[in-house]
Every structure is written in C-alpha cells, then in structure tokens.
Chains A and B, each alone.
Chain A
C-alpha cells in the first residue's frame, strides 16, 4: 500500500531564506508526482508535476526533484516571501491506477517578514 510522508509537519523561516520541503513515498511504482499549495480554507493550487521519467521541474522560484528509486521528492523554494506562507502537499499517482492521487499530510510553512 502506497504511503506518502512529508517532513517536517510545520516550518517557520525568516523572509529571504531558501528552504527545502521533503516528501517520501513507500512504493517506487509511480506514474508521476505533483506538488500543491493550499491556503487556509481554500482549494489546492498545482505548483509542479514531475513525470516518473523526469528528475526535476522548475517554475520561477520553485524547483522540485524526484528520486524514484529512493522514494523521495524535494521542493526547493528560493528567496522565500511572506506570500509563500501556506500548506504544501505532495501527492503521487500510482502506476496502474492513474486516476488517483495519494497525498501526504502536508508541511505548513510560515515565512516571517
């Protein structure tokens, strides 16, 4: 059974700091991995999607990497800003069951001015 874990559960950093969020999954048979952002009481905003054959994806100040064999992904946020404060969720799509996202519990990030 695929399980997704995100560490740490919460993180507080000063503005301008570079930071890394971690995501691990137990079964390497994945179709892709997606990172989302969720603001309190809101829906999810897709940040980056990495196909299983890719090693990383970049969008602006965000960079996500994927090491499928070790069951790990990281989301790197450069030069953090207060507007980055949110909960960040990673989710995997299992191979052979591509309509389903399996989520981690998320990392709640606070960026202090």
Chain B
C-alpha cells in the first residue's frame, strides 16, 4: 500500500505570495491532518479534515486554510506569506479521528 505523499517536496517563495501544498492520504484513510514543524516551536497542529469537513483547527491565523476533496486528498493554502512561515509542513492520514496517524515526507517551505 502506498504511503502518504506530499507535493511539492520543496518550495521557495517570496514574502507576500501565497502557496498551496498538496497531500494524498493512504488509500482508504478519510482523516487528514496538517502540522507545521519549526526548530523553535516544534510540531504544531494546523487542522484536521474528515469527509471533506474541517473538524479541528489549531491556533494559526486565518492566512492558513485548507480543504479536502471527495477522494480524501487535501490541500492547504497559506496566503500573504511571512518569513516566519518557513517550516516543514507535514500531512498525516488515518482511517478515522483518533486512529494511528501516518505521516508523509513533508514539504519544506522557505520564504525569502
């Protein structure tokens, strides 16, 4: 069974731009969660989607948004990028909320 895939793997953007990251979950998994990892803050929860509905949201500004499609694939969008948004963005999938989460390789975003 293929694991969680994330595209692109690396991105360089300029302050003020916007970016869209994509996540394809493990086949059959309906829950997708997103996390931001930085050296200073560690791993922080962004949001969770289940059956195309956002079920949980972390403490991030409204510039961070996401969605989930009917095939469970998910995208997250960050608008008006700031230098502090530079991070590794990780996506995880699970069969349902609270079940074991499996992580993708991440997208490394650098904002200059």
Contact = CB atoms under 8 A, between A and B. Distances in A.
Chain A interface size, as a band, is: 20 to 34
A36 B106 CA distance: 15
Interface of A: 31-32, 34, 36, 41-46, 49, 89, 91, 93, 97-106
B101 A101 contact: yes
Interface in B77-95: 88, 90, 92
Interface stretch (B11-19, B50-58, B61-69): B50-58
Interface string B21-36: 0000000000101010
Contacts, number: 56
6 contacts: A41-B88, A43-B90, A99-B31, A100-B33, A100-B58, A101-B45
Contact of A101 (B4, B35, B105, B108): B35
A93 B45 CA distance: 11
A105 B40 CA distance: 9
A45 B101 CA distance: 9
Contacts of B105: 42-43
Given A97-B56, A99-B48, A89 B43 contact: yes
Interface of B: 4, 31, 33, 35, 42-45, 48, 50, 55-56, 58, 88, 90, 92, 97-98, 100-106, 108
**Main SS at interface, chain A:** strand
A106 B43 CA distance: 10
B48 A100 contact: yes
A49 B56 contact: no
Contact of B50 (A43, A44, A99, A105): A99
A99 B43 contact: no
Given A42-B106, A44-B90, A97-B56, A103 B101 contact: no
Given A32-B98, A42-B106, A46-B103, A100 B42 contact: no
Contacts of A44: 90, 92, 103
